[in-house]
Structure formats: structure tokens, C-alpha cells
Structure 1
Amino acid sequence: MIQKTTRIADPEEVGQKKWYLLDATGKTVGKLSVEAARILRGKGKVCYTPHQDLGDYVVVVNASKIALTGQKWADKMYYRHSGYPGGFRETTAGEMRERKPEYILSHAVKGMLPKNKLAKIYMTRLRIFPGPEHQHAAQSPVTVQTGV
């Protein structure tokens, strides 16, 4: 009988965490958030293990220029509740793009991450900016080309 063991990545295999830059101009929310979640979890690495934090940092610029297909700017709704009676609020994706464009992408990425303690760690490494300027030039992020 073959005994299966859980693989644990060595610290020298993992190395330093890298920084990646994604440009959201004209990209659909789903395709861009899949790429961001993949990098955050470290799924592209050879030493990937699901129960370990092996991911890298992701910087997304131009979040206000992200695209949605069809009539989703008017039809897609974001919901929140204050916790008080009558505190239920809903906002369309178009209104959210004008108010908080980075929320649309962070909400999509969060939904693609596992629902465990690692998800909070992954989300701290996601940096989203509505315009082309970002504060992480010193980390010299590598630009990632994603499909449209």
C-alpha cells in the first residue's frame, strides 16, 4: 500500500514574495480577478501547497476602467446591511464604479479565494488603485499581461 503524505514547501523553495502589476483597463472583472487570485494564492509556483501561504503581492491599477459584459453596469447589484431595521441598501455596479471602483474588483477577488483563515492574509496583499498611479514603485512590480 502506498502511503500518501501532505507535501510541505521548504522556506528556501518559497523564497521572497514578488510583486506583480495588473492593468485593469478594458479587462473584464472575472478574468482579471481570476488572475489576481491565482497570484495571491501562489498557484503558478512549482512548490504550491493549498494549506500554506505561498502567494505574492498584486497591485492593480486603473480599476475605474474595468469592463463588465452585457447590461451589468445597470443590472448587477451590490448589497449591504447596517444591522438596524430598514438598514438594507443596494447599489448598482455603475454607481459603485463612480463611488468606489476598487470595491468591484476586491469583491470579485475575495469571492474567488478559499473561505478560510488564509483568505484574510491573501486579501492584505491585494492593492487596488482607481487610477494609473500607485505607491509601490519601490518594490518594482513585474507587469503581467492578461487576456482580454
Structure 2
Amino acid sequence: MSKTNEFIRHLKDLERINLEGLRFRLIDAKGQVVGRLAQEISILLQGKDKPTYNPKKEQGDVVVVVNASHVHFTHDKWATKLYRWHTGFPGGLRARTAQEQWEKDPRKLIWNAVNGMLPKNKSREVRMDKLKIFPEAEHPFTDFPLVPYVPKPRTLGDRSLGWPVPQGFEPVNLERYAFRLRTSPRLHGGAGRPQLPLEDLLTEEERAALAAADAAALAPSSSSTRPSD
């Protein structure tokens, strides 16, 4: 199918859709992760971003996705993620990696991801008709009032992902650990506790404090030296 015929088909698909009150959302998929992008597209197609959302009504906007050939996958999914289908004949199970699917038709990467995130009911076909995906920046909806939609900034290499370091956290200090191990009244001389040879890591002040603690431990207690009545 030529590009002109493909554009005409996309425009004819809109004739079956009631566009009253709907917007045309334009999304640039360049540099976006497929799964996260598909999640946001499914929200727009269902109309969940609107305060008037009703699961029994089709209030989702028309979503136009450009630059679909420039999406990303996390980790090694380009080689490990498989797209399976069956020919209908015995032994007809087929599989294709994400890299092979991208070489054949990069639009299917986003289409399959969004299709799998929508509810499995009769409305899914209508909602998928409102999804228009194009491999590059060229599309036939230039005459429509497009509303740009910027996905959340969670692309590859985002430092905001994950858990932040707790406030006040400090790495282990071997010198302080050795000093506490030797001077603590609970840990010093404990049965079965190995004595680590970390004296070389102590500073001069810590050595003096350690010697004072050892001398205090060896000194006789006041109760034993008190004279008897």
C-alpha cells in the first residue's frame, strides 16, 4: 500500500467515529519507552484523563502518534521479547522478536502494546480505530486542530527512577566500626565474637581512648575495695 492510499484509509476510518467533543492528541514517540508510552495512550483512548469519564461511553480522544520507528525498549527486550501468532494450520505457531518486528513494521510495536492494555470488550475495536500510528513525522492530520500531548519524562537514563538515598545516610566507616567494636561494654569480650585485627586503622586519639577504656575495665570496682563494717 502506497503512502497516499494509507493516509486516505486513516482519514476514512474517522467516518465511522462520532468526533463530537473529541480532540486530536499528537504524541511524539521519539525516545520513549514502548510500555510506558502505551500506558498513557490507553488512558487517552479510554477518556480516563477527563473528569467526565464514563466506562459506558466512548469519550476517548483520537491519538496521532508520530516517529514510531524511534521508540526504545528497556534492557534486552529487543532480542528477548517475542510476538507470537498462529497460522491456523497444525504446527503453525510462529514467533518474531521485537527487532524483527521493528524491521518489518515498527508501528506494530506500539499497536500491540496499546491493544493489550485496553479492556477486553466490544469497545476495544472502536478505541483502537482512534489510534493512528506513523513511523515518521509525516501524517495526514495537519488540517485538524491537533493538541500536543507530552508524555511524562520517564525515558531511558532518567535519574529520578528508583528509591532516593535516605536522608542522613552515610557509608560504613571501618575506623569507627572498629572503635565501637572494641570499646562497647556489650561487645567487648563477648563470647564467640571474633576480634578483628583493625588496630592499624585507628587514629592516635582513638588508640588513647581505647587504652583508657581497657584500663577502666581492669581496675577493681568500688564495691570490692569498700572496707567492711
In the alignment, what sits opposite 2:56? 51
Q: Work out which structure has the larger RCO, using CA pairs closer than 8 Å and 6 or more positions apart in sequence.
A: 1
1:143 equivalent in alignment to 2:148: yes
How do residues 11-90 of structure 1 correspond to structure 2 at under 5 angstroms?
16-90=21-95
User: Aligned partners of 2:135, 2:42: CA distance in 1, in Å?
Assistant: 19
Structure 1 runs (4+) deviating above 2 angstroms are none
More strand by share: 1
User: Aligned partners of 1:41, 1:97: CA distance in 2, in Å?
Assistant: 26
**SS of 1:139's equivalent?**
coil
User: Aligned partners of 1:74, 1:44: CA distance in 2, in Å?
Assistant: 34
Aligned length: 135
User: Aligned partners of 2:49, 2:82: CA distance in 1, in Å?
Assistant: 32
Deviation at 1:15, TM superposition (A): 5.3
User: Aligned partners of 1:140, 1:98: CA distance in 2, in Å?
Assistant: 32
1:134 to 127, 134, 139: 139
The C-alpha deviation readout for 1:81-130, integer Å capped at 9, x for no partner, is 11012221110000101111000101000111111111111000000001
1:110 equivalent in alignment to 2:115: yes
Deviation at 1:59, TM superposition (A): 0.4
TM-score, length-normalised on structure 2? 0.57
User: Aligned partners of 1:86, 1:42: CA distance in 2, in Å?
Assistant: 41
Q: Report the residue type matching 1:54 in the other structure.
A: Q
Q: Any stretches of 5+ residues in structure 1 without a counterpart?
A: 1-13
User: Aligned partners of 2:24, 2:138: CA distance in 1, in Å?
Assistant: 15
Q: Any stretches of 5+ residues in structure 2 without a counterpart?
A: 1-18, 156-229
User: Aligned partners of 1:22, 1:72: CA distance in 2, in Å?
Assistant: 23
Q: Report the residue type matching 2:74 in the other structure.
A: T
Deviation at 1:46, TM superposition (A): 1.1
**SS of 2:143's equivalent?**
helix
The C-alpha deviation readout for 1:26-57, integer Å capped at 9, x for no partner, is 10011111111111111111110112111110
Percent identity between matched residues is 42
The C-alpha deviation readout for 1:12-34, integer Å capped at 9, x for no partner, is xx952100011111100111111
User: Aligned partners of 1:38, 1:110: CA distance in 2, in Å?
Assistant: 12
Q: Report the residue type matching 2:93 in the other structure.
A: F
